[in-house]
Amino acid sequence: MTEMHLDEKTLKYLRQLSDSYPSIQSVSTEIINLRAILNLPKGTEHFISDIHGEYDGFRHILRNASGSVRRKIDQALGDYLSSAERGNLAALIYYPELKLQELKEEGLLTREWYTLTLKHLVAVCRLTTSKYAASKVRRMLPKDFEYVITELMTTGSKDFNKEEYYGQILQSIIDIDSADKFIIAMCHLIQTAVIDRLHIVGDIYDRGDSPHLVMDELQKHRHVDIQWGNHDILWMGAAVGNLCCICNAVRICLRYNNYDFLENGYGINIRPLSLFALETYAEDPCLCFQPKSEARSPYEEQNRSVIAKMHKAIAVIQFKLEGQAAMAHPEYDMEDRLLLDKMDLEKGTVRIGDTDYPLLDRSFPTLDPKDPYALTEEEKAVAEGLRSSFVGCEKLQRHIDFLYEKGSMYRYYNNCLMFHGCIPLEPDGSCTEVEIYGHLCHGRSLFDRCEELVRQARYSRNPDHRSRGRDFIWYLWCGSRSPLFGKDKMATFERYFIEDKATHKETSDPYFRMVTSEALVDQVLEDFGITDPEAVIINGHIPVKIKKGENPIKVPGRLVLIDGGMSKAYQSVTGIAGYTLVYNSHEMYLSEHEPFTSVEDTVRNNKDMESKVVPFKTFQDRIKIAGTDDGREMAARIEDLELLLEAYRTGAVKGKG
């Protein structure tokens, strides 16, 4: 046998590796296992963007995997069950606890129903897990039923030698009153197994009333990554104590009448704000600040009046603080947002550019004309109280930690480049050069620098670095060259106080005009160092207006926008309830979703979310794990193990087993 010559660094690594694989047999077994896994089909990936706090719709899309669960049911049982029966089984898999309760109340949980349902669930589960290695399936199994599920999935009901054995397992589950728990476990296993990896392409927060529940749901998922959106970055800024971000977050909640989420979801104390608003704007109807929802009772109408006053109070504080931030950072180039000092309250106008526009609201009791961006002592107390509440909220901080742990400005995975917003471009299509604290950045380097500062805002031990990171997060939320915002301005002031809609216009970055260009796709991928001709760009952020004939597929097979309006606030404009993208071993396709009705409708009437499949990319050869990022890591691992195996055989490394 030829003697091995290994350098000291390699020998040290192999000795460490031998702790996990202490013998020739253990190394050999792992090599066999990994080589086999490389030939399995790649797992299914699920891409979702712009959730905006719509928990019920998001949860349903997650549970039905954008229609993937129903497709598995059809494949496994299409020859045996009617469409209605398959719809009933799908509703059970989505919401097993609720569906079982409904069937129980209707007296339908007979022994025959349990037996058939258990067989159907085993068939669907067997098909759903069939492309995974046995070791991976075992890790998904609920511990209480691991042995029983394994036996049922490896023993067919038509196996002549084990037919009675299989039947006895099912009957025993029913006899000992474990059927309900077992069905629930099987349904959750199917939900888990149908999607291998979940990608969230930004904007979990704002507009909808339950982003905290969305975050709770994401924390349960096995494999998830998040590309930060501008609304996520806003809450990340709020969590590290940036007052501009805090005011924006509170204002948006009040605008969409979601103050209950602030109080009950995160325990944010808004009572000082309400007391301040009721005293300061007592006689002000605050007509420009009515929340975006209709009152359904006299009590709610009165409550809306309080919300409107709070809404105005926090908006005025926000405009003052943002003015201070813009003046403190002239490099942000946000002087056009300094509008409080352009108001003439006697004339009732505000000057923007060379034009004086009438103000819709002239009541600004806390505004000092000599120093319009200064907070009153009362406003300071409200702002600092909110900062203390945001920074001290344990649940919010836990969710933001998860955003930092699983999130990034962009991600390239399995030939998919994902980022929420845009690459800032000049009108001619060249990358915009952005100077950030002395660094000139564009394209990928801009994303990298932004992420560096976002992480410094939370983790840096240097107080100056933490401070500038906190300030920059606000710029990422609303700055004209922010890759997360992608517009020339955030016209919040104009939308509140000026009737002329021409002033409300926020001009999108040229990126969104050029996304139909294959040359742009090539340029972006090249800038990110991506050379694979099969690479795809996936964006969210800009709702695709189907009503106006817009198409989410901008360059066939190469660039797609998947924000179609999951947020109810957008659905009247988009005409649908969002897009999601599914990427399996055969194809990539979009699911175009109709608005979700309710969980009750699904459980009682077996009504699923209606979704239309839009083909995006089909693969001539089925993709195996060997062709994925995980597969490439696995192949490198095999090389290391083969080196260790040779080292054992030559005596260069001594076995420990």
- Could you tell me if 252 and 343 lie in one domain? yes
> What is the model's pLDDT at position 612?
87
Express each pLDDT in 91-109 by its tens digit: 999 999 999 999 999 999 9
> What is the model's pLDDT at position 17?
94
Q: What is the percent of the chain where pLDDT is above 70? A: 95
- Could you tell me if 370 and 471 lie in one domain? yes
- Could you tell me if 190 and 284 lie in one domain? no
- Could you tell me if 20 and 80 lie in one domain? no
Query: Domain total for the chain?
Result: 3
Express each pLDDT in 422-433 by its tens digit: 999 999 999 999
Average pLDDT over all residues of the chain: 93
Higher-confidence residue of 544 and 289: namely 289
Residue at 278 is within a domain: yes
Residue at 550 is within a domain: no
Express each pLDDT in 609-653 by its tens digit: 888 899 999 999 999 999 999 999 999 999 999 999 999 999 999
Express each pLDDT in 387-417 by its tens digit: 999 999 999 999 999 999 999 999 999 999 9
> What is the model's pLDDT at position 158?
65
Range 521-529 contact pairs with CB under 8 angstroms and sequence separation of 24 or more: 521/555, 521/558, 521/559, 523/429, 524/417, 524/423, 524/443, 525/417, 527/423, 527/431, 527/442, 527/443, 527/444, 528/410, 528/412, 528/417, 528/443, 528/444, 529/444
- Could you tell me if 19 and 151 lie in one domain? no
- Could you tell me if 405 and 316 lie in one domain? yes
Higher-confidence residue of 330 and 565: namely 330
Query: Cα dist. 250→244, 261, 270, 475 in Å?
Result: 10, 10, 9, 18
Residue at 251 is within a domain: yes
- Could you tell me if 284 and 419 lie in one domain? yes
Structural domain of residue 129, as residue ranges? 63-194
CA angle 403, 404, 406 (to 5 degrees): 65
> What is the model's pLDDT at position 303?
85
Name which of 138-152, 244-258, 274-288, 554-568 the model is least confident about: 554-568
CA angle 405, 215, 129 (to 5 degrees): 85
Residue at 67 is within a domain: yes
Express each pLDDT in 153-191 by its tens digit: 887 656 667 778 888 999 999 999 999 999 999 999 999
- Could you tell me if 235 and 142 lie in one domain? no
- Could you tell me if 255 and 379 lie in one domain? yes
Residue at 264 is within a domain: yes
> What is the model's pLDDT at position 297?
47
- Could you tell me if 390 and 323 lie in one domain? yes
> What is the model's pLDDT at position 162?
77
Residue at 348 is within a domain: yes
Residue at 506 is within a domain: no
H/E stretch holding 102: helix 96-105
Task: Tell me the pLDDT band of 544, cut-offs 50, 70 and 90.
Answer: confident
Nearest Cα to Cα of residue 589 among 50, 68, 193: 68
Please state the pTM of the whole predicted model: 0.94
Give all strands (DSSP E) within 221-338, no chain letters: 224-227
What is the 8-class DSSP label of residue 618? E
Task: Tell me the pLDDT band of 244, cut-offs 50, 70 and 90.
Answer: very high
Higher-confidence residue of 375 and 551: namely 375
Q: Is the pLDDT of residue 196 over 90?
A: yes
- Could you tell me if 298 and 362 lie in one domain? yes
Write out 46-89 in H/E/C secondary structure. Answer: EEECCCCCCHHHHHHHHHHHHHHHHHHHHHHHCCCCCHHHHHHH
d(CA 498, CA 372): 19
> What is the model's pLDDT at position 198?
97
Residue at 500 is within a domain: no
Cβ–Cβ under 8 Å, residues 60 and 599: yes
- Could you tell me if 173 and 279 lie in one domain? no
